[in-house]
Copies of this chain bind each other. A is one copy, B any other.
Amino acid sequence: MTTTRPRRSKTAAPAAAASPWAPSSVREQQREAKRNAVLSTAAQLFNEKGFHATSLDDIAARLHVTKPTLYYYVKNKEEILIECVRRGLEMMHSGIEASRQAGGSAVEQLMACMRTYTRIVTMDFGMCVIRIADDELPPSSRKALRRLKSGIDMEFRRLVAAGVEEGAIAPCDPKMTAFLIAGALGWIGRWYQPGGELGPEEIADQFIATLCQGILQSPAVPAAPARKRPAAPRPRPAGKRPARKQP
């Protein structure tokens, strides 16, 4: 596929007779935009109704086209599924890569990656990564998608290990800590619904603060009086936790 637009020049030769068809490069762009619309709509429907309950007719209906029209852009429902998951994983990859390239200490990069990951699992393609189980993917594409997933896991492990080495992260098994982070943040893609009480940024704030600082209260903070209602949610940004008193 090429995305080069036809060059226009004031000194060009006289224009050819006008054709009712757009130039092939433009048609190719239009085809790509339509394929993207098919995939985005499919991802939305998979997340709303589940992969098995979504038919090509549902996708066509939401796009106001007929099912045969879809076949010009995609081969079948399986191809759509693979593409949705692949795009979600590639968004995660490039998001993590960008977070890393922004630089900073390992723990700063880790937090940026956690934020990126949270944002992507609340988006249509990212949600597909979380909601669609490995065994729902066609065996032919499973290996390639697993490799992408494993690359993301390895990046988290690497940053955790580097954070331990820098002394900012408590000694741990980086594999376990990476799994813990992936589970806590990935699960957001299961329960998140657009338009809910909290937006992706607020959820990321709360989750990152709790993952970094832990759920337990610092002993320095006095216990709340009994029978009082639980305090209002208050994200605790990393490093701003009240100092722990010496015993």
Contact = CB atoms under 8 A, between A and B. Distances in A.
The copy count of this chain in the complex is 2
A1 interface: no
A172 B224 contact: no
A210 B180 CA distance: 9
A243 B107 CA distance: 21
A217 B170 contact: yes
A161 B227 CA distance: 11
B172 A233 contact: yes
Interface in A188-233: 188, 190-191, 198, 203, 206-207, 210-218, 221-224, 226-233
Interface string A158-195: 00110111111111111011011111111110110000
Given A133-B133, A135-B50, A186-B183, A222 B172 contact: no
Contacts of A174: 230
A45 to B, nearest CB: 11
Contacts of A214: 170, 210-214
A236 interface: yes
A73 interface: no
A14 interface: no
Contacts of A13: none
Contacts of A190: 183
A238 interface: yes
14 contacts: A49-B135, A50-B134, A50-B136, A164-B224, A167-B217, A167-B222, A171-B231, A174-B230, A176-B206, A177-B210, A179-B188, A179-B191, A183-B190, A243-B245
Given A183-B185, A213-B214, 9 more contacts: A133-B133, A164-B224, A165-B229, A167-B221, A169-B215, A183-B188, A212-B215, A212-B216, A213-B216
Interface of A: 49-53, 107, 131, 133-136, 160-161, 163-174, 176-177, 179-188, 190-191, 198, 203, 206-207, 210-218, 221-224, 226-234, 236, 238-239, 241, 243-247
